[in-house]
Amino acid sequence: MLKGMDRMKDVEALRSDALRDIAAARDEAALEQARIVWLGRKGPLVDALRGIKDAPAAERRDLGLALNRLRDELESLMTERQAEISERALFARLRGETFDVTLPGRPRAMGGPHPLQLVEDALVDALHALGFHFAEGPEVESEALNFEALNIPADHPAREMHDTFFVQDQPGYVLRTHTSPVQIRAMRKHAPQPVRMITVGRVYRRDDDVTHSPVFHQMEGLAVGEGIGMHHLKGTLYEFCRAIFGEDVRIRLRPSYFPFTEPSAEVDIGCVFCGGEGCRICKGTGFIEILGSGMVHPHVLREGGYDPAVHTGFAFGVGVERIAMLRYGIDDVRLLFQSDLRLLRQF
Ligand SMILES: [Zn+2]
């Protein structure tokens, strides 16, 4: 196909035709077509390379060099052209997209504290104001601290299987059934110095009905020192209840029994629903039971590192769910654990 001196001229002609085609390719399909035509196995360049052997020996070297150089040049031009086409396509697409600056933003869903958290905060605040400091303990607790140190011996009904979650593979440990072991921890940390502490957290019992959940929350307060008496307990509880239920709250202490306090008292407040007249919720009594309390049992004081002959103290505990249910008029404790936004959005 290529003859004599014409061969180099034909290479030049081939080059200018190829360059024109590459420059004219407006999109990827056209460029791919040009690649097949000029660099393909049936294209003129390959044809010419094959024809080198037919050229006179004196011309072969220059001709080979020229054709190889041309092939390299075309390949790199096509790569460049490819990049230009891609970039142009990207800009074209971006120009085509419209952006409406007047569209309103998408509001982020705002979270809020859970009603139990609101109650916990209120309880803790009320006692902070009275000089109680916050203390914490683990939810997986030793039986020794959860029971024995709190004067609940092994034969006590509270330790039976139907009440307590035991920890498999870790004998001697339970999911704490109350926050009271934190009292022991706080006393052991501070004894023989006086202590005033408040704790709040999750506790676990094998209960599940309208007023009981296997996971629930307790808050409790403890004060130990010299000369602390029942009157301090009553004064503290009165201020505490005023902070939670309002200035006009009435409180009543009734004798009761707890293993870890002696004497012990249940604390009632005047019914918040009927104002003391008597209604279905207070069962006609005009009072609602809200917490348990008492003077710290000498056994517990000793376990905490205090000498009962020198130190006395009081303690009280309250169910956070119970306060939340009273405060917000919720009649099923399980609603507090179902994460239903229709309920939670109301607070
Ligand atoms: Zn009532």
What is the Å distance from ligand 1's center to 333 Cα? 19
What is the Å distance from ligand 1's center to 289 Cα? 11
The answer to whether 206 and 163 have CB atoms below 8 angstroms apart is yes
The answer to whether 317 and 293 have CB atoms below 8 angstroms apart is yes
What is the Å distance from ligand 1's center to 178 Cα? 28
Q: What is the mean pLDDT of residues 95-119?
A: 84
What is the Å distance from ligand 1's center to 236 Cα? 24
The answer to whether 44 and 36 have CB atoms below 8 angstroms apart is no
Q: How far apart are CA 107 and CA 93, in angstroms?
A: 29
Q: Does residue 200 register a pLDDT over 90?
A: yes
What is the Å distance from ligand 1's center to 334 Cα? 23
Q: What is the mean pLDDT of residues 88-117?
A: 84
What is the Å distance from ligand 1's center to 210 Cα? 19
pLDDT tens digits for range 222-264: 999 999 999 999 999 999 999 888 888 999 999 999 999 999 9
pLDDT tens digits for range 69-88: 999 999 999 999 999 999 98
Q: Does residue 5 register a pLDDT over 70?
A: no
Q: Which strands form 215-226's sheet, in the order they lie side by side?
A: 133-134, 195-204, 215-226, 311-319, 287-296, 261-270, 251-258
Q: What is the pLDDT of residue 162?
A: 59
What CATH number matches the domain at 115-344, 3.40.50.261, 3.30.930.10, 3.40.50.970, 3.30.565.10?
3.30.930.10
What is the Å distance from ligand 1's center to 288 Cα? 7
Q: Which of 16-30, 211-225, 299-313 has the highest mean pLDDT?
A: 299-313
What is the Å distance from ligand 1's center to 344 Cα? 26
What is the Å distance from ligand 1's center to 269 Cα? 10
Q: What is the mean pLDDT of residues 96-114?
A: 82
List CB-based neighbours of ion ligand 1 within 5 Å: 271, 273-274, 279, 282
pLDDT tens digits for range 43-53: 888 888 888 88
Q: What is the pLDDT of residue 161?
A: 59
272 pLDDT tier (thresholds 50, 70, 90): confident
List the structure tokens of 12: 């030049």
What is the Å distance from ligand 1's center to 321 Cα? 19
What is the Å distance from ligand 1's center to 270 Cα? 8
What is the Å distance from ligand 1's center to 215 Cα? 28
Q: Where are the domains of the chain?
A: 6-96, 115-344
pLDDT tens digits for range 173-192: 999 999 999 999 999 999 89
Q: What is the pLDDT of residue 230?
A: 95
What is the Å distance from ligand 1's center to 271 Cα? 4
Q: Does residue 306 register a pLDDT over 70?
A: yes
**Rounded percentage of the chain residues whose pLDDT exceeds 90:** 52
List the structure tokens of 153: 């011996």
Interhelix angle for 6-24 vs 28-39, to 10°? 170
What is the Å distance from ligand 1's center to 247 Cα? 18
The β-bridge partners of 256 are 264
What is the Å distance from ligand 1's center to 286 Cα? 5
Q: Give the three-class secondary structure for 167.
A: coil
Q: What is the pLDDT of residue 334?
A: 85
Q: What is the pLDDT of residue 174?
A: 92
Q: What is the mean pLDDT of residues 20-27?
A: 90
Q: How far apart are CA 120 and CA 321, in angstroms?
A: 9
Task: Look at phi and psi of residue 151 and say left if phi exceeds 0, alpha if psi is from -120 to 50, else beta.
Answer: left
What is the Å distance from ligand 1's center to 326 Cα? 11
Q: What is the pLDDT of residue 106?
A: 86
Q: What is the mean pLDDT of residues 142-170?
A: 85
Q: How many Cβ atoms are within 10 Å of 282's Cβ, its own excluded?
A: 20
The mean predicted confidence, pLDDT, of the chain is 89
What is the Å distance from ligand 1's center to 292 Cα? 20
Q: Does residue 61 register a pLDDT over 70?
A: yes
List the structure tokens of 21: 């085609």
Torsion 182-186-192-194 (CA) sign: negative
Q: What is the pLDDT of residue 297?
A: 96
Q: What is the mean pLDDT of residues 121-132?
A: 90
Task: Look at phi and psi of residue 284 and say left if phi exceeds 0, alpha if psi is from -120 to 50, else beta.
Answer: left
DSSP state of 136: -
What is the Å distance from ligand 1's center to 282 Cα? 4
